[in-house]
Structure 1
């Protein structure tokens, strides 16, 4: 059961919004909501859990109860890790709204196998949609392209490119720089790009619980390299706020991006914040 620190104001704000283009809310961790001007609403990697203390300790509020979400057309997962595929966070959204769940094979294996969303949360089998690199599909007013990601800690990660009449949004999951990104930067005109950013910290090992030097997300130089290769107009760093020992200061990225042609602008958001893509 998820217990929200903020009540239902955030899902209510999403449902009542009438964006001119696409509104994007940052849910903390690597979670986002995209809502188009026609009302299509997409959730990407929403995670409302508290981690596995004392190994992984959530440092930010739980922004909503998934049962308070009444409008969603799709939930998308970038890879199989717990903070990207999580039954208590995502399955109630699917059960309440009838939204489709788009995810690569190993992510679906967690949802349908290890976590048994079908049985525990009354998720229907026809709500699952397997995706792979090279796929493209329509969800309402969005065209979604499934592209490669480079996350050595995941078994099958993907990134998503969301095309809308108002602009194009990239979500890389927990990807590090990839040889594919220069190609993607040429193929897509990315108005807003999202990449995971964090520090290196001593995190208890999963088996031994002894502190272990851990790098799960891009450091300053890695994340700017990826953003530059992808030719972002606006770059929104994510995940920097989440885990004790791996948090970082995204304001420091101003020093790293300013000599590069891309990204053209650093877009900083805290949990609950909204940014807009309007095509202007």
Structure 2
């Protein structure tokens, strides 16, 4: 039996985090994806684990960090992209609201870590270290500045693959197509707080961010990273067959445009000619949280008049989505268990307890 004198902050951290332990790691490892399908798990923010029927495992944008942990001096970090965007000075109250559903250091069998862009809630040193240490054959795929960061962290250059829009990389049985990104917040991200961007030419988006299309034998998954809405989505929809699209949805605070709104999530799906649209990212930051059922309700309102050929899917972090198995489902719910009730005699003092 434990004793209070043996309990410390360190023991509490080790015994509590990640909150799900290796439960999801085990589920993914044991999952046998059926022929003609593709499965993926939502890991929080825009992080997903994609697994093909052939057993190819792609990890995308897994972030294992935190938001604010102290009130500090109450001021925004000078030069932060949100400060540059809006002129705000008070601290952004971006608290992490999701548990850690996967243990990065128990990750096994990953064939590639793929990252959309330079922001730290997508490009994570903990994930990079875990994949590097546990999956020695894994490739690290990202745009130029993402790869430059991995190299600074110590990832060997021979493990990395730099991509720009139009590039294709085959990992196992999955073809990864890099496409244009539309993340205007990334364009005003600059590490040097003393650098002024006013009146200067912006960064080259292709060096700092890309969207991805994962083409598998079970379907094609479009990951838009943190892209805002763009008319070029329609170009991508013309160029490629897209079954499922994921977009960074959220409720933007006053004076900020950083996340895709409910209406534009529907526009994105329509432009991409997708069959399913899945909002992500709204779950993670306390100051950008939104209700994804707003997307469903607007879709119901418009679908018959506009002849939508796609459906929204409201996911839950840690949950699995399989295409095309779940393509007509509107919501995810975790398995509730207890299917074997009364398979053995129950043990209560009297039947009246029931």
- Give the structure-2-normalised TM-score: 0.71
- CA distance in 1 between counterparts of 2:29 and 2:156 reads 24
- CA distance in 2 between counterparts of 1:238 and 1:23 reads 16
Given candidates 150, 157, 163, the residue that maps to 1:125 is: 157
1:33 and 1:43 in contact (8 A); partners too:
yes
- CA distance in 1 between counterparts of 2:309 and 2:221 reads 13
Given candidates 34, 37, 47, the residue that maps to 2:53 is: 37
Which of 1 and 2 has greater Rg? 2
Aligned: 1:49 with 2:101: no
Where does residue 176 of structure 1 map in the other structure? 228
Which moved further from structure 2: 5-14 or 259-268?
Answer: 259-268
Change (3 A) 1:217 1:6: same
Residue 254 of structure 1 aligns to a residue whose secondary structure is helix
Where does residue 142 of structure 2 map in the other structure? 103
- CA distance in 1 between counterparts of 2:63 and 2:140 reads 14
Where does residue 93 of structure 1 map in the other structure? 131
Given candidates 236, 257, 270, the residue that maps to 1:215 is: 257
Residue 57 of structure 1 aligns to a residue whose secondary structure is coil
2:228 and 2:258 in contact (8 A); partners too:
no
1:144 and 1:163 in contact (8 A); partners too:
yes
- CA distance in 2 between counterparts of 1:251 and 1:135 reads 35
Given candidates 245, 253, 256, the residue that maps to 2:295 is: 253
Q: Please report how far the alpha carbon of residue 182 of structure 1 lies from its aligned counterpart in structure 2 after TM superposition.
A: 0.8
Q: Please report how far the alpha carbon of residue 109 of structure 1 lies from its aligned counterpart in structure 2 after TM superposition.
A: 2.3
Where does residue 81 of structure 1 map in the other structure? 119
Q: Please report how far the alpha carbon of residue 77 of structure 1 lies from its aligned counterpart in structure 2 after TM superposition.
A: 0.5
Change (3 A) 1:169 1:262: farther
Q: Please report how far the alpha carbon of residue 263 of structure 1 lies from its aligned counterpart in structure 2 after TM superposition.
A: 5.5
Where does residue 160 of structure 1 map in the other structure? 212
Where does residue 209 of structure 1 map in the other structure? none
| Cα shift readout 1:128-168 (whole Å, capped 9, x = no counterpart) | 11111000111111111100110101142210001112111
- The structure whose residues are more often strand, as a share, is 1
1:23 and 1:276 in contact (8 A); partners too:
yes
Given candidates 105, 110, 123, the residue that maps to 1:67 is: 105
- Give the structure-1-normalised TM-score: 0.88
Where does residue 15 of structure 1 map in the other structure? 29
| Cα shift readout 1:53-98 (whole Å, capped 9, x = no counterpart) | 3542110101122110011000100000001101013321222102
1:227 and 1:262 in contact (8 A); partners too:
no
1:231 and 1:262 in contact (8 A); partners too:
no
Q: Unpaired runs of 5+ in structure 2?
A: 1-12, 71-92, 188-207, 328-354
Where does residue 225 of structure 1 map in the other structure? 267
1:48 and 1:63 in contact (8 A); partners too:
no
Q: Please report how far the alpha carbon of residue 272 of structure 1 lies from its aligned counterpart in structure 2 after TM superposition.
A: 0.4
Alignment: residue pair count = 263
Residue 42 of structure 1 aligns to a residue whose secondary structure is strand
Residue 264 of structure 2 aligns to a residue whose secondary structure is helix
Residue 92 of structure 1 aligns to a residue whose secondary structure is helix
Q: Please report how far the alpha carbon of residue 179 of structure 1 lies from its aligned counterpart in structure 2 after TM superposition.
A: 2.6
Q: Please report how far the alpha carbon of residue 269 of structure 1 lies from its aligned counterpart in structure 2 after TM superposition.
A: 0.6
